[in-house]
A = this chain, B = another copy of it.
């Protein structure tokens, strides 16, 4: 019986993988990977059969039960099985369903953590998510802005934390803003939109809750997008306002390419 590694591929850039993840990929016999994993990361699994298993918002993705079954079956055939997930496996990665399926079959399993997207966005913006005197708490959340009018517990968590990072695109921005303002965030609350954090061609803009729906439309659809909210962004927002209105390419990304 083989061992299954749930491995975080990091936020996007191939070199934001951990050394341990790189080593495990090199040993892998088979790799089941999410969409959006960098080709250079997959190339590290030089001995392995590579199996894409989808998993990206609003695109065709493989059924979770099918993935669970793949992992269990692979562990019976191979010594080293890797399930490679974007970011960190334990944050919005649906890892528990896979861990539970493996445990039910008595299959040995190890989790290799990764850099979650929120941290890459903060690095690109060069704005700390915590700050002495301003922010002692950071919430990572996936909002549900459905048709039901129920605000949901995620809104309370986002409003209560000093800084919030929402793992979602801007498609539902108007509804999101409505929910957050109803729950007490002011219209001038600072927001950053970060697209493709850590990757070449990443984009960012600073705005306010009131202006988010209008400004979000300026970012062309493409890579994965995060929203950052909080007073830690206030200074960057002030110095950004009055500049050109097109999304700024991130300086950190320019530096990485140089």
B113 x A16 contact (CB < 8 A): yes
A28 and B127 CA atoms in complex are apart in Å by 23
A20 at the interface (CB under 8 A from B): yes
A172 at the interface (CB under 8 A from B): no
Residues of B within 8 Å of A114, CB to CB, are 115, 119
Residues of B within 8 Å of A69, CB to CB, are none
Task: Give the residue name and chain of the B residue nearest to A198 (CB).
Answer: B113
A161 and B141 CA atoms in complex are apart in Å by 9
A88-B111 contact, Cβ under 8 Å, with A18-B10, A93-B128, A139-B161: no
A138-B91 contact, Cβ under 8 Å, with A160-B156, A160-B160: yes
Stretch at the interface among A45-53, A95-103, A201-209: A95-103
A153 x B162 contact (CB < 8 A): yes
Residues of B within 8 Å of A124, CB to CB, are 111
A111-B137 contact, Cβ under 8 Å, with A128-B99, A160-B153: no
Instruction: Output the residue of A95, A120, A132 with the most chain B CB within 10 A.
Output: A95
Which positions in A face B, CB cutoff 8 Å?
A: 8, 10-11, 13-20, 22-23, 88-97, 99, 108-116, 119-120, 122-124, 126-132, 136-144, 152-154, 156-162, 198, 232, 252, 255-256
26 A-B pairs with C-beta separation under 8 A: A13-B20, A15-B20, A88-B122, A90-B123, A91-B122, A91-B130, A93-B130, A94-B132, A99-B128, A109-B126, A110-B252, A111-B123, A112-B123, A136-B142, A136-B152, A136-B153, A137-B140, A137-B141, A137-B154, A137-B157, A139-B140, A139-B157, A139-B161, A157-B160, A157-B162, A160-B160
Please name 16 further chain A to chain B contacts, defined as beta carbons within 8 Å, in addition to the given A137-B141, A140-B140, sorted by A numbering.
A11-B113, A15-B19, A15-B20, A18-B115, A88-B122, A89-B123, A91-B119, A91-B122, A92-B130, A93-B128, A99-B126, A116-B116, A138-B141, A139-B139, A153-B162, A157-B160
